[in-house]
Structure 1
């Protein structure tokens, strides 16, 4: 059985391959990458490295030839992802891939989360493709708060427009372990997994965790969305990025990231990584 992972040198893809290397023969794994130079370590360990960009349909078909099971790691170019993902799905069909798993987002077909529409559209493409599939609806990554930790260390405050909203986050390594489990075992065809951390924390708890890391008191300072935009633009962010981050905070305030399902820990056979432990690890790295 040959397993391929797209975005294999990215933050999530490389962790999925690392998990797979613990149970699969290196030669049975395919790393699909944009830049072969970044995959030297994988090649040295015996992983097949194939170069293909999400926008290059021909290269994708060549890269996926002979692949039995594929993980499509969602692209990072917001606004372009549906077309890019369609190229991967079409290439998988053309290459005769038997099974595709996709890293989506929690409740992609029903949530109002600002990031959801492209994921929902990709899920629809996959369902219509005729391929056997599994949808891995990943919740929030704890690593997304690395910059929050860095800023709070300096300022003594977590400033957000999230109100009393909660976040059931987990680490990329947690989600990678789930993806590897689905890719390397049977019984997942047609499944949709709602994946999230075992506990939904609030921003007061986030501030408490950062206090322990920083060695100084850190407090949570809730603000309105317009106030947050002003804070972020004053710090140097452009209006578009600041507005996007404020919108994410409002989604958090609305409870869109708070869902705890237990499906992630069920797939990986262990509890998800606690908030403080995850933040300490991301800070150290």
Structure 2
């Protein structure tokens, strides 16, 4: 059995889609979710659905029963991740999971990103548990920026604080395919993969590509971190998320989101999604 936590989230659904495309039998895939009713479409495809609430340890041991591999997708409750992740790790150990795969963050062991702290501590907990594990240190999703596409088209600008920092982003589907590759085939014990796109770009390059494809003038406007964070708050983002995004942009300016290891391409067996393809898809969906 392969268990995917957070399976109704954007990444989790893509991982399951990829596992099915690789020929993994639906009955061997467990969608572990807080609200099983939200996974009715997955159940209709033959995927096993089990309740899995990071704050209720009894649901975790039941969800992980019989699991050969478990993918731990981070809780979205910033600041409260550590006790929740600890509960997952403890449950995985208690039921004898063969391998725990964790979706971490790029260069978690040395990253200056504010969000890296909880990932770094989670990695330490996994290592201390003695569980056989794989750490998938995911870089930035290009969708993190393309989510602002409608506003950028309306106002002619992307806003940020990354200056000329080069960001090795990849599409969410690329990271999902990497997770599926690890979950569906033997991977050496306690492996670590630094996952990032094949090419690195500035936010100015992103704006230029959007302008080229849309036929509308779009530029990148760089702001001081405090101003960008205030903009995000005024746009309605929760304070912790606004702080995280503003910090990530500021750190990206100094290279925190750059990587050229090539691990992601080697795992998925193809080049990562290019900027022009990602922008084209986002424009089609806008």
Maintained 8 Å contact 1:146/1:283: no
What CA distance in whole angstroms lies between the structure 2 residues aligned with 1:196 and 1:208? Answer: 21
- Report the CA distance between 1:107 and its aligned residue: 0.9
Aligned to 1:39: 39
What CA distance in whole angstroms lies between the structure 2 residues aligned with 1:283 and 1:58? Answer: 44
Aligned to 1:12: 11
Alignment gaps of 5+ in structure 1: none
- Report the CA distance between 1:249 and its aligned residue: 1.4
CA change 1:227–1:132 in 2 (3 A) is same
Aligned to 1:135: 135
Alignment gaps of 5+ in structure 2: none
- Report the CA distance between 1:96 and its aligned residue: 1.3
Deviation per CA, 1:92-127: give whole Å up to 9, x if none. 111111111000001111111111000001101111
Aligned to 1:276: 276
- Report the CA distance between 1:247 and its aligned residue: 1.6
Deviation per CA, 1:120-153: give whole Å up to 9, x if none. 0110111111111000000001111123222110
- Report the CA distance between 1:40 and its aligned residue: 1.0
CA change 1:45–1:79 in 2 (3 A) is same
Aligned to 1:145: 145
What CA distance in whole angstroms lies between the structure 1 residues aligned with 2:41 and 2:233? Answer: 39
What CA distance in whole angstroms lies between the structure 1 residues aligned with 2:240 and 2:125? Answer: 29
Deviation per CA, 1:61-100: give whole Å up to 9, x if none. 0111111111111111111111111111111111111111
What CA distance in whole angstroms lies between the structure 2 residues aligned with 1:218 and 1:83? Answer: 43
- Report the CA distance between 1:283 and its aligned residue: 4.2
Q: SS at the partner of 1:135?
A: strand
1:156 maps onto 2:156 in alignment: yes
Could you tell me the TM-score, scaled by structure 1's length? 0.95
Root-mean-square deviation over aligned CA pairs: 1.6
Give 4+ residue runs of structure 1 displaced > 3 Å after superposition. Answer: 229-244, 282-285
- Report the CA distance between 1:238 and its aligned residue: 6.3
Aligned to 1:172: 172
- Report the CA distance between 1:240 and its aligned residue: 5.5
CA change 1:86–1:141 in 2 (3 A) is same
What CA distance in whole angstroms lies between the structure 2 residues aligned with 1:200 and 1:282? Answer: 19
Deviation per CA, 1:134-186: give whole Å up to 9, x if none. 00000001111123222110111122211111110011110011101111111
- Report the CA distance between 1:223 and its aligned residue: 2.1
Maintained 8 Å contact 1:159/1:228: yes
1:211 maps onto 2:211 in alignment: yes
Aligned to 2:81: 81
Q: SS at the partner of 1:167?
A: coil
